[in-house]
Amino acid sequence: MRKHIWYLEQLSIADLNSLGKNTMGEVLGIEFTEVGSDYLKATMPVNQNTRQPYGLLHGGASAALAETLGSVASALIIDPDKQICVGIEINANHLKGVKEGFVTGICSPLHIGATTHVWDIRITNVKHQLICISRLTVAILKKH
């Protein structure tokens, strides 16, 4: 009996982090840190690559972390020989500013359907305070 939602039986953090090579995730410093039975967790530094001019974490960087988490999660659920997945809608509510350190995002499913996945992504600071709540909708398409 399957104890997780992922397509593959074994997933390693190294495998997940290798997906980010030569992508925006690599530029932003996003690193996967944990794979649960139905969630993914990743961190991102708050630095010159992720701050806006006021010195705060850029909302777009938070959205990129959220979309990275949700998109990778969907990619881990589908059959990669038959399907692809693409983000079709994201929203993010920025609740608290962050000037330094790291933020951590945790992604969990709200809906896993045949044609769409909807993910809840919560981003916290190093004090575990909620700084951003995001929802990502991903379309599941047939591979041509």
- The string of pLDDT tens digits covering residues 118-127 is 999 999 999 9
Residue 109, number of CB atoms within 10 A of its CB: 17
pTM of the full structure: 0.95
Which is the catalytic residue, given 9, 31, 34, 67? Answer: 67
Determine the Cα–Cα distance for residues 111 and 118; give it in Å rounded to an integer.
5
Q: What is the pLDDT of residues 3-17, one digit of tens each?
A: 889 998 888 999 999
pLDDT of the residue at 71: 97
Burial of 76 (0-12, 13-18, 19+ CB in 10 A): buried
Q: For each successive 10 residues of the chain (144 residues), what is the average pLDDT?
A: 81 91 96 96 98 97 98 96 97 98 98 98 98 98 92
SS3 88: strand
34 is catalytic: no
CB half-sphere exposure, 29, CA atoms < 13 A = 13
**Taking the domains of the chain in order of start, what are their residue ranges?**
13-142
| Cα distance between residue 125 and residue 104, in whole Å | 6
Residues 6+ apart with CB under 8 A from 60: none
In CATH, the architecture of 13-142 is Roll (3.10)
Q: How far apart are CA 114 and CA 102, in angstroms?
A: 35
pLDDT at 1: 54
